[in-house]
Amino acid sequence: MVVLDFGGQYAHLIARRIRELGVYSEILPGDSPAEEVLSRRPGALVLSGGPMSVLEEGSPRPDPRLLDSGLPILGICYGHQLLAHALGGVVRRSPRAEYGGTRIIRRGESRLLEGLPDEFTAWMSHGDVVAEPPPGFSATAISESGLIAAMEDPDRGAGVYSVQFHPEVAHTEHGMDVIRNFLLSIAGLERDWNPVSRIPSMIEEVRGMVGPEDSVICAVSGGVDSMTTAAIVHRAIGDRLHVVFVDHGLLREGEAEGVLRALGELGIRNVHFVDASDRFLSALRGLTDPEEKRLAIGRTFAEVFEEVASRVRGAKFLAQGTIYPDRIESGASGRGADRIKSHHNVAGLPERFGLRLIEPLRDLYKDEVRRIARELGLPDYIVDRHPFPGPGLAVRIEGEVTEEKLRIARRANAIVEEEFVRAGLYGAVWQAFAVLTEGRWVGVKGDRRELGRVVIVRAVTSEDGMTADWYRIPHDLMARISKRITEEVPGIVMVAYAATSKPPATIEPYRAARPPSTRPSPCR
Ligand code: XMP
């Protein structure tokens, strides 16, 4: 499957849903030339949502030849409007913008909506609307306010279908059924995609790249992506893999030990471990601004990493755990412009040392990496652990990072994790952690009153970290966390809970504000 990306924030979600159903999918820019799209030999096309209006000049369009390519096509949101506009229907500014959960009422027969109830709730986010379907199309559903919610012409080529709502988001009832109907019964695709079956070819690819005398450096952070990368490269070239693990002193409790243990269990022998906590702490001394802290961490990391890497003989390659969403930023302008998040290019090393990159996971999503990791024998405490930011606890400590504040933050974070695990809810959230603020609160212990610190607990649910909802934490779990933190962590007298989703708030509190994001605004 090819998902043509018109800049909606949901293109990755669509591609992932398709893969979840067992069909391999890739994202290409919406205006890719037909040759480029067809060279992937897709079995069907999806036109994604996007922030523009088809009524605006210069808004992105698919190559018209694709609409006549004879492939089954599914348009979603902006993609639905594009199809109407391109095939002779009428698109207008909507009299009422529809956002959020909306009742959808079916009308007549529909191959796309087959098996769905007569009414269901779907997620909408649009300002334009298809006022008249193109000739040959019938409207197969309307929204509660009477606007066209779905249309189809099964006889046009191999069938053209579209929906105004977002079947890919979890809030849409039967959304997966819509995608399944399109993939399996309309496009007739086989469910043959299984990331685990890719392992042998990933190993072969590494063998093909790396010469018999060459070595590969792989920096691991403890995260599942870098550990899985190391495991694959190790299977390919054995001891010519050199793993570098820098402990910057900002890790979670027990993390360094866990990573070293896991590397040992994988049989990786060339492990260059550096405990550089003191060096990072000195670099952070006196810094209070998140951006300055992040830069100091990045700089120090580069120095330490370079020292270690320069001792590895014959190193020609750097293996890194770049995954698909890191590489293909949905809505990125410029065709084929792979955008690698800068923090993934470890310490600028590839450029400085002329190292070539090995990125075995570059086409995979996180959940797929987890399946591969499990297959390769990585332990659960690596595979299932919550994502953790590169600059570590520094982004969870307000103001200057000192040894004392690190101790507090590390313990408080560990307590949150332990209690989520004990409640059986660790896997129910994307992340759960504690934040050490500069806020003060008066504490009372017996007759003594003294000023103490405030810790904020944050737990969120999310599919990919791009958007997140605050987790409705059970009160008794919150009570246990609060009691333990105030009792066990010196200096903390108040525990609060962060009850705000993303947007408007980011997940991590003291992260550097990125330069203006290229991420698109929500789909129309
Ligand atoms: P935000 O804070 O942007 O977090 O809502 C989204 C996801 O990214 C992680 N995160 C980071 N990861 N370096 C990283 O490697 C960072 O500076 C950073 N800031 C946030 C965060 O943990 C969440 O999963």
Complete DSSP assignment for 159-204:
-EEEESS-TTSTTSTTHHHHHHIIIIIIS-------GGGGHHHHHH
Looking up residue 108, the CATH number of its domain turns out to be 3.40.50.880
pLDDT at 330 over 90: no
pLDDT band for 280, please (50, 70, 90 cuts). very high
- Is the CB–ligand 1 distance for residue 157 below 6 Å? no
Q: Which residues contact 407 (CB under 8 A, 6 or more apart)?
A: none
- The answer to whether the CB of 390 is under 6 A from ligand 1 is yes
Q: Which of 77, 51, 69, 52 is nearest to 2 (CA)?
A: 69
Kindly state whether residues 135 and 24 are assigned to the same domain.
Answer: yes
Distance 382 CA to ligand 1 centre (A): 18
Q: Are residues 151 and 230 in the same domain?
A: no
State pLDDT tens for residues 41-52: 999 999 999 989
How many of the other CB atoms lie within 10 Å of CB of 384? 14
Task: Identify the active-site residue in 152, 168, 329, 463.
Answer: 168
Q: Is the CB of 417 under 6 A from ligand 1?
A: no
Q: Is the pLDDT of residue 522 over 50?
A: no
In a domain, residue 484? The reply is yes
User: What residues have CB less than 8 Å from 309, skipping those under 6 apart?
Assistant: 217, 244, 315, 349, 353
CATH code for position 457: 3.30.300.10
More confident residue, 475 or 504: 475
Which of ligand 1's atoms lies nearest the C-alpha of 512?
A: 17
What's the gap in Å between 507 CA and the centre of ligand 1? 7
- Check pLDDT > 60 for residue 523: no
The average pLDDT across 186-195 equals 96
Model confidence pLDDT, tens digit, residues 503-512: 889 999 998 7
Ligand 1 neighbour 391 (Cβ under 6 A): yes
Distance 206 CA to ligand 1 centre (A): 29
As a whole number, mean pLDDT of residues 261-274 equals: 96
Q: Is residue 268 part of a domain?
A: yes
Claim to verify: residue 110 and residue 147 sit in the same structural domain: yes
Residue 455 has pLDDT above 50, yes or no: yes
- What proportion of the chain, given as a percentage, has pLDDT over 70? 94
Task: Mark whether 267 and 126 lie in a shared domain.
Answer: no
Kindly give the distance from the C-alpha atom of residue 389 to the centroid of ligand 1, in angstroms, as a whole number: 5
Please identify, among 125, 151, 186, the residue that sits at the C-terminal boundary of a domain.
Answer: 186
512 in any annotated domain: no
pLDDT of residue 519: 35
Same domain, yes or no: 230 and 141: no
Question: Would the CB of 502 count as within 6 Å of ligand 1?
Answer: yes
Smallest CA separation from ligand 1 atom 12, residue: 389
User: What pLDDT was estimated at residue 100?
Assistant: 87
- CA quadruple 306, 311, 312, 317: dihedral positive or negative? positive
Asked whether residue 158 is assigned to any structural domain, the reply reads: yes
Question: Looking at 186, 215, 244, which one is the last position of a domain?
Answer: 186
Cβ(465) – ligand 1 distance below 6 Å: yes
Q: Are residues 262 and 374 in the same domain?
A: yes
Residue 227 sits in a domain whose CATH number is 3.40.50.620
Mean pLDDT over 159-188 rounds to 96
Q: To test the ligand 1 pocket, which listed residue (401, 429, 507, 510) has its Cβ within 8 A of the most ligand atoms?
A: 507
Check pocket membership of 223 for ligand 1, CB cut-off 6 A: no
Please check whether residues 21 and 131 belong to one and the same domain: yes
Q: Are residues 199 and 178 in the same domain?
A: no
Judgement on whether residues 178 and 274 belong to the same structural domain of the protein: no
In a domain, 344, yes or no: yes
Q: Does 514 map to a domain?
A: no
Ligand 1 center to 337 CA (angstroms): 23
Asked if the structure places residue 390 within a domain, the reply is no
Q: What's the pLDDT score for residue 336?
A: 40
Spatial CA neighbour of 95 closest among 56, 143, 141: 143
218 is catalytic: no
Query: Do 227 and 342 belong together in one domain?
Result: yes
| Model confidence band, residue 514 (pLDDT cutoffs 50, 70, 90) | low
Give yes or no: residues 418 and 452 share one domain.
Answer: yes
| Claim to verify: residue 172 and residue 282 sit in the same structural domain | no
What total of structural domains would you count in the chain?
3
Asked if residue 328 belongs to a domain, the reply is yes
Asked which of 137, 167, 186 is the last residue of a domain, the reply is 186
Range of the domain at 42: 2-186
